[in-house]
Amino acid sequence: MYRILFSLSFLQCLLLSDSRAQTAPDVLARDYIGFASPQEGTLESGKPPEISHVSPGKKSWDNYEKTIGAPLKKWAGEQIAASPRGTVFYPFSGPDFVTVGQFFPEADRYILAAIQPAGPPVDTMAMPIPDGEAFKSKFLTEWVKFGQLGFFRTIDLNENTVSVTARLTSTPVLMAFAVALGYRVDSVSPLQFNTQSGDYEPQEISPQSTWNSVRLKLSRSGREAILDYVCIDLSDSGLKPNSPQRGWIELTAKNPVLLKAASHLLPDPYFSACRAAIVNGAPMLIQDETGLDYGDLKKMGDVKLYGRFTGVHKLFKQQQPELIAAYAAAGKDTLPLPFAYSYQKASERRSLQVVRRVP
């Protein structure tokens, strides 16, 4: 099934490859959700832009910020104290730039990796008005849903990606999250893997561009940042031994790693390469209970437990007995988690685990 979805996504990306944005990407990003152009000094101050009107997009973002975003950013500043520079890796991310952007607000490069292709920007201002309004309506439906859940459902991402009429791939969502976090989107370009450098690099935009992976160049408060979204099969089928993709994942996983709502894929035998890359390479890992097994976390270093955990979400068959036992042994010594995260929403069930590698 994982491979089938990848193939469908790739074909969909080819179908959309002739659609290229002519309007400035920052203008498009704001138009998707009704954000106004930044007022003078807004970007320099690093504050999110003002909203042009009371729209569903504004209400959804306000709700997200109040219940998840602001508490998460405050908590991360106190508990994670991330380095102000460097690269962060977020596998199984979907287009969830907002979460990693708040955990690591000063990173130079964000690398998100997922099975769905990014797709090109959607130029709503060059479309017939009914088409543009239909796209924005669909966009706001998913935007509001994320504001309520705090994560993307895989089924929604897959359905939107393969729908020619929806055209709602990951790139427009990434652009919107960037402006919501106070960035200006300076450019959007397709990425292509360079076998010589062993990394993804921007390619010239043309009718032949597939837009599988994209790079957003962002700026905020006088600083520039790069947001790379890489379309890649993270299973062992996509990370074969001695393949360029295997080498890329092993190198990329040597940066701090974030896992969220990863659907317990990493403990699966078919994700051994990606799992090993993180366990052997990441200097720090932040995850919820859907990431690595507790035994693998302990291989990396001391595990700091946050929140409460007594069992996995009913959607999943994995039981995480070692993690349950660790939380039971810690009792009330675990620190609280003041925001909903991933699939577990109730305060007595939400959890995070943070590991810093022992030198």
At 153 the pLDDT is 57
Same structural domain for residues 214 and 123?
yes
**What is the pLDDT, as a whole number, of residue 347?**
63
Question: Which pLDDT belongs to residue 209?
Answer: 83
User: β-strands 109-114, 284-287: how paired?
Assistant: unpaired
Domain of 272 in residue numbering reads as 265-359
pLDDT above 70: residue 12: no
What mean pLDDT value characterizes the chain?
82
pLDDT interval class at 105 (50, 70, 90): very high
Residue 246, in any domain of the structure: no
Q: How confident is the model at residue 146 (pLDDT cuts 50, 70, 90)?
A: confident
Listed in order, strand segments (DSSP E) in 211-334 are 213-220, 223-231, 257-258, 284-287, 303-307
Q: What is the model's pLDDT at position 205?
A: 87
How many Å apart are CA 325 and CA 16, to the nearest integer?
48
Identify the domain boundary among 177, 212, 232: 232
pLDDT at 200 over 80: yes
| Integer-rounded Cα radius of gyration of the chain | 20
pLDDT exceeds cutoff 70 at 250: yes
* Rounded Cα distance, 287 and 320, in Å: 14
Residue 196 pLDDT greater than 90, yes or no: no
Task: Kindly indicate the confidence band of residue 242, based on its pLDDT and cuts at 50, 70 and 90.
Answer: very high
Residues 103-120: what's their mean pLDDT?
93
Q: Decide if 42 is inside a domain.
A: yes
**Does the pLDDT at position 148 exceed 70?**
no
Last-in-domain residue among 232, 247, 273: 232
Task: Judge whether 182 and 30 are in contact, CB under 8 Å.
Answer: no
3-class secondary structure, 94: coil
pLDDT at 3: 42
| Burial of residue 143 (number of CB atoms within 10 Å: 0-12, 13-18, 19+) | buried
Cα–Cα distance, 87 to 81 (Å, whole number): 15
Q: Give residue 210's pLDDT.
A: 85
Pick from 232, 256, 285: which residue ends a domain?
Answer: 232
The answer to whether position 260 is within a domain reads no
Q: Is the pLDDT of residue 308 over 80?
A: yes
Could you give the CA distance from residue 120 to residue 167 in angstroms, rounded to a whole number? 9
Q: 303 and 329 in contact (C-beta within 8 Å)?
A: no
Shared domain check, 205 and 283: no
Residue 238 lies in a domain: no
Whether residue 37 is found in the same domain as residue 84:
yes
Q: Is 121 helix (H, G, I), strand (E, B) or coil?
A: coil
Whether residues 194 and 311 share a domain: the answer is no
**What are φ and ψ of residue 358, in 5° steps?**
-75, 125
| pLDDT value at residue 282 | 97
- Edge-first strand order for the sheet with 223-231 is 199-202, 184-194, 213-220, 223-231, 109-114, 87-91, 257-258, 284-287, 351-356, 303-307
**Residue 196 shares a structural domain with residue 338:** no
How many angstroms separate the CA atoms of 41 and 347, rounded? 38
Predicted confidence (pLDDT) per residue in 202-218, tens digit: 998 888 888 999 999 99
Same-domain check for residues 120 and 217 = yes
286 and 202 housed in the same domain: no
Is 206 in the same domain as 293?
A: no
Confidence band for 124, pLDDT divided at 50, 70 and 90: confident
The model's confidence at residue 315, banded by pLDDT at 50, 70 and 90, is confident
Q: Give the span between the Cα atoms of 89 and 232, in whole angstroms.
A: 13
Share of residues in the chain with pLDDT > 70 (%): 81
Name which of 278, 188, 209 is nearest 18 in CA terms.
209
Q: In the prediction, which pLDDT does 207 show?
A: 83
Is 69 inside a domain boundary?
Answer: yes
User: Are the CB atoms for 52 and 35 separated by under 8 Å?
Assistant: yes
Shared domain for 211 and 161, answered yes or no, is: yes
Say if 181 falls within a structural domain.
yes
28 domain residue, yes or no:
yes
Residue 177 and residue 283 share a domain:
no
- Do 270 and 228 reside in the same domain of the chain? no
Q: Collapsing DSSP states into helix, strand and coil, what is residue 159?
A: helix
In this predicted model, what pLDDT tens digit does every residue of 36-88 receive, in sequence order? Answer: 665 533 444 455 555 445 567 777 788 888 888 899 999 999 999 877 789 99
Residue 345 confidence (pLDDT): 63
Q: Could you tell me what percent of the chain has a pLDDT over 90? A: 48
Q: Is residue 253 part of a domain?
A: no
Q: Average pLDDT in the 15-43 region?
A: 65
Instruction: Estimate the crossing angle of helix 170-180 against helix 129-149, to 10 degrees.
Output: 70
Q: How many structural domains is the chain composed of?
A: 2
- pLDDT tens-place string over residues 254-282: 999 999 988 789 999 999 999 999 999 99
> Does residue 282 sit in the same domain as residue 190?
no
The pLDDT value recorded for residue 187 is 95
What DSSP designation does 240 have?
Answer: -
